[in-house]
Chains A and B, each alone.
Chain A
Amino acid sequence: SAVISQKPSRDICQRGTSLTIQCQVDSQVTMMFWYRQQPGQSLTLIATANQGSEATYESGFVIDKFPISRPNLTFSTLTVSNMSPEDSSIYLCSVVPGLSSYEQYFGPGTRLTVT
């Protein structure tokens, strides 16, 4: 397994600003992902964070809106840019420690409210 922390745990931001969310893992992991959970909804994958290269985005998500970095095997950031109220969601980081089973573990999430 893996222990994952996210910062901040929650934030209230104004429209038009940007917020960077950090995800830290206690051990090196093979894969890292960012998901969004809109109010009352299930989780949707935003992108796969690739170490040392550009993230792989899912349909409907673009790098200009959600830039992602992954400088090493234990850390990643997600920025939500030029925020609008529609970006109010929980953002979750997840990791796959190894490729034997692809079992995935999630961080506690960042609850973002945009006013």
Chain B
Amino acid sequence: KQEVTQIPAALSVPEGENLVLNCSFTDSAIYNLQWFRQDPGKGLTSLLLIQSSQREQTSGRLNASLDKSSGRSTLYIAASQPGDSATYLCAVISMGGTSYGKLTFGQGTILTVHP
């Protein structure tokens, strides 16, 4: 059974800092890994998708890496801003099984960027 863990559970940083969020998964047979952002009381916004054959993806100030062999992904946020404050969720799609396309989520990292 796939399990996804995110560290740290919460992070508070001053504006302008570069930061790294960590995600680990137990079963390396994944199809892809997706990072999401969730604002309080809202749905999820897809930030980055890394397919299993890829090592990293970049979008603006965000960079996500994937190391399947070690079961790890990191989300790097450069020059953080107060608007980046949200919960960041990591999720993986495992290959095969009856629930193809199913996302298994980590518990999330609550990020607060203060001015």
Partner-B contacts on A (CB < 8 A): 1, 31, 33, 35, 41-45, 48, 56, 58, 90, 92, 94, 96, 101-109, 111
Contact = CB atoms under 8 A, between A and B. Distances in A.
* B interface, size bucket: 20 to 34
B69 interface: no
A61 to B, nearest CB: 11
B43 A109 contact: yes
A109 B40 CA distance: 12
Interface on chain B toward A: helix, strand, loop, or mixed SS? strand
Interface in B75-115: 89, 91, 93, 98-99, 101-108
Given A43-B89, A101-B49, A48 B102 contact: yes
A41 B105 CA distance: 10
B61 interface: no
Nearest to B6: A42
Contacts of B89: 42-43
